Amino acid sequence: MQILNNLFFESQQDFPYLTKELNEIFSDIILGGKIIRYKISKPKFINILASSNKKNIQNEIQMKLDQYANKKFIDIFKSKKNIAGIVSEEEKEIIFLEGDSAKKGKYVILLDPIDGSSNIDVNVSIGTIFSIYQRITPIGVPITEADFLQPGNKQIAAGYILYGPSTVLIYSTGYGINKLIYDSTLGIFSLLKEKIMYPSKGKIYSINEGDYNSFPVGVKKYIKFCQEQNKETNRPYTARYTGSFVADFHRNLLKGGIYIYPNTTKYPNGKLRLLYECNPIAFLAEQGGGKASDGNKRILDIIPNKLHQRTPFFVGIKTMVDKAELFINKHCYM
């Protein structure tokens, strides 16, 4: 087992694909994650698990922890030189870092500071999702929106921290998925597993079936398929849905399954956000031999046109996503 401290760089030889600059960014993400984990695990901070009674740009009620995590990550990145700007689920506009960073920082980062907000006050797993790109505007001039509106296939790193019974960091720099586990006594993340792959077969489907009546016909048919006796498992698939996307994805990655958030009447373009939820998870899914699609095309090839763009999302074992797409194409998406 490799032991890493806050600075991945100290174990550079074990992570040849993490440059010094990326190491520093990861170190910042880890620092934010450690602070969040500390806050949510201490009874004296119980107040932070409540609602703030304010809404974010998505018109969703923010929990106090959403606001806290958002500010914490921004503060951490603001004090560093290699990040030129940040996009966060909780902020309407790009956060341009001041001074040298905005002009010289090579990277931009996109964040969902707390995914699974509805689970904060009921002590169910939540996570932080991140996505990193190299800027496309030249070094020396301020970044623009174009630096963030790159397709997911240009990501140079992506991952999430899952705050569950244990705290884990799952990330990829394009050379497989690594899993690290947090040791709160030592304050470090230790490498637990490299090159994580989806199992060859899956039997879990994760979707909010309460919205069934407003799903596209193809999705309804796929759910019926999941509920039938399955040739591979000799029983119907198992339904598992927490309402925390990272938790559902994580389970399906390790145990084999598919996560779906389709377009619905309430969310005609899907609920999940392309840039800081779907792209990073799609990047990981492909690194694990899986597939991520909007029902018709590869998520990572979508050219974004706005920061908080939503998309229908199907992610999981490749054969399961292929099957869902078959139903969608056969029955037409709407």
Binding residues: 89, 112, 114-118, 208, 241, 271, 277
For ligand AHM, the binding residues in 65-104 under the rule CB under 6 A are 89
CB of 309 to ligand AHM, least distance (A): 14
Per-residue mark of binding to ligand AHM, 32-71 (x: CB under 6 A)? ----------------------------x-----------
Inter-CA distances, 172 with 151, 175, 198, 290, 302, Å:
17, 6, 14, 14, 20
- Look at residues 301, 292, 300 and name the one whose alpha carbon lies nearest to residue 324: 292
Question: Residues 23, 82, 88, 117: which binds ligand AHM (CB under 6 A)?
Answer: 117
Per the CB < 8 A criterion, the answer to whether 90 and 67 are in contact is yes
208 touches, from Mg ion, ligand AHM, none (C-beta below 5 to 8 Å by class): ligand AHM
241/259 Cα distance (integer angstroms) = 9
- Residue 8 phi, psi dihedral angles, 5° rounding: -55, -25
Amino acid code (one letter) for 258:
I
Smaller CB separation from Mg ion, 22 or 69: 69
Smaller CB separation from ligand AHM, 24 or 294: 294
CB of 89 to Mg ion, least distance (A): 6
Closest-by-Cβ residue to Mg ion is 115
- Look at residues 276, 270, 273 and name the one whose alpha carbon lies nearest to residue 295: 270
Question: Residues 112, 286, 294, 325: which binds ligand AHM (CB under 6 A)?
Answer: 112
Strand 177-183 with 188-193, pairing = antiparallel
Question: Residues 11, 52, 67, 208: which binds ligand AHM (CB under 6 A)?
Answer: 208
For Mg ion, the binding residues in 95-134 under the rule CB under 5 A are 112, 115
40/244 Cα distance (integer angstroms) = 16
Per the CB < 8 A criterion, the answer to whether 294 and 315 are in contact is no
Smaller CB separation from ligand AHM, 117 or 293: 117
DSSP state of 288: T
Contacts of 190 (CB under 8 A, 6+ apart): 1, 2, 3, 4, 180, 181, 183
Smaller CB separation from ligand AHM, 188 or 239: 239
CB of 134 to ligand AHM, least distance (A): 25
Segment holding 155, helix H or strand E: none
Q: Binding-site residues for Mg(2+), please?
A: 89, 112, 114-115, 277
Closest-by-Cβ residue to ligand AHM is 245
For ligand AHM, the binding residues in 244-303 under the rule CB under 6 A are 244-245, 271
Binding site for ligand AHM (CB under 6 A): 60, 89, 112, 115-118, 208, 243-245, 271
